Amino acid sequence: MAIPTEQIGSIPRPPQLLESIKSFETGAINAQALERQYDEALRETIIRLEQTDSPVITDGEQTKPSFATYPLTGLKNLAPDGVVIPFADGHQRQLPRLTSGPFRYAIHADSYTKAALGYTKRPVKQAVISASALSLLYPGVQIDFTEGRLSLKLDPSGALLRSFVALNNEVLNRFSAEDHPRLGVHVCPGGDHDSTHSADVDYATFLPDLFKMNVGRFYLQMASEPDRKRVLGIVKDLLRPDHKVFIGVIDPINPVVETVAQVRDRVLEAASILPIAQLGTTDDCGFAPFADDTSTAREIAFSKIRARVQGTEQAARELGV
């Protein structure tokens, strides 16, 4: 596509998969039966994403317990009383706490990519959790999170955010210069049960440090931002020639499906401020980052993705690219 468009990651899981997960936890079904449901959900999700004409797809995180904790599956050296993340509507998420070393991933993200590639010939993008988010498991070391805006809420001085950037750059610097254009970072104020955890943190205090991340792509929540033009102007000043920025044109928290015209207008707005050659579109966040989040209907998620693809195409035609 003349203007690239990609989703962030998660798609709401089918009801039958959620029921199977509960049945497995109570011992009503075995691991093999649950794996069959995972496989079917993955296959159907990829088919549905292809039907939206998405040029790049993900696995919808169908087989992950959450976007954050999937590497911990099966680990025995964890306790449930880790960092608590409060959301604006009053609900909370709590991460586990590492009780003894060493810390090793039990599952690596490449396994999800390989499974998805078995069902599609289109390019597959994999969402992976950041090193800074997993550093939350370590007691008494640092409080850090993949959402930079939340780190500023926890520590308005910005020291936490700077440590977030430095820690992730330690990992990113292991990749070659040829790899960096393919690496990206996604940021938003959180999205769980239709609520956020840090939407009240000003983007302006966060973006200058974010753009020090050693990646070529930035995926930014923007559709739900109250003053998009102001923030887009900040992004323009921070962009380097080797950057590509994917602007959120879909709000997963809002149950109303955007029209193609609304998406087109948001793309045109961004293109009036940012260089078109460095512009892409995305969704503000995943639609169900945690497996048990059923606040967004599966059908609504696919309809919103289809509107993003079509609206981006329409904007590209109007821009003559």
Whether 83 is in a domain gets the answer yes
Span 34-40, average pLDDT:
96
Confidence of residue 12 (pLDDT cuts 50, 70, 90): very high
Question: The domain containing residue 250 runs over which residues?
Answer: 15-319
pLDDT (tens digit per residue) in 99-120: 988 888 999 999 999 999 999 9
* Three-state secondary-structure class, residue 170: helix
Span 53-78, average pLDDT:
92
Residue 189: per-residue pLDDT: 77
Confidence of residue 91 (pLDDT cuts 50, 70, 90): confident
pLDDT (tens digit per residue) in 188-222: 877 777 777 777 878 899 999 999 999 999 999 99
Whether 61 is in a domain gets the answer yes
Residue 146: per-residue pLDDT: 53
Of 217, 7, 35, the closest CA to residue 124 belongs to 7
Residue 143: per-residue pLDDT: 29
Query: What percentage of the chain carries pLDDT values higher than 90?
Result: 66
pLDDT (tens digit per residue) in 275-302: 999 999 999 999 988 888 888 999 999 9
Span 71-82, average pLDDT:
91
pLDDT (tens digit per residue) in 137-171: 765 452 233 557 778 877 888 888 898 899 889 98
Confidence of residue 258 (pLDDT cuts 50, 70, 90): very high
Residue 139: per-residue pLDDT: 55
How high does pLDDT run on average in the chain? 90
Residue 84: per-residue pLDDT: 86
Residue 183, domain CATH: 3.20.20.210
Whether 7 is in a domain gets the answer no
Confidence of residue 131 (pLDDT cuts 50, 70, 90): confident
Whether 64 is in a domain gets the answer yes
Whether 301 is in a domain gets the answer yes
Percentage helix, strand, coil for the chain under 3-state DSSP, each rounded to 5: 40, 10, 50
Dihedral of CA atoms 96, 40, 60, 183 in degrees, nearest 10, equals: 90
What is the rounded CA–CA span in Å between residue 320 and residue 28? 57
Residue 147: per-residue pLDDT: 57
Query: What percentage of the chain carries pLDDT values higher than 70?
Result: 96
* Three-state secondary-structure class, residue 303: helix
Whether 54 is in a domain gets the answer yes
Strand stretches in 114-223, DSSP E: 184-187, 217-220
What is the rounded CA–CA span in Å between residue 175 and residue 62? 28
Whether 9 is in a domain gets the answer no
Whether 185 is in a domain gets the answer yes
Q: Is the pLDDT of residue 1 over 90?
A: no
pTM score of the predicted model: 0.85
Tokens of 43: 């296959």
Q: Is the pLDDT of residue 98 over 60?
A: yes
Tokens of 34: 């649950």
How many domains are contained in the chain? 1
Of 234, 248, 245, the closest CA to residue 275 belongs to 245
Residue 138: per-residue pLDDT: 65
Span 270-276, average pLDDT:
98
Higher pLDDT, 314 or 66: 314
Tokens of 146: 């993949």
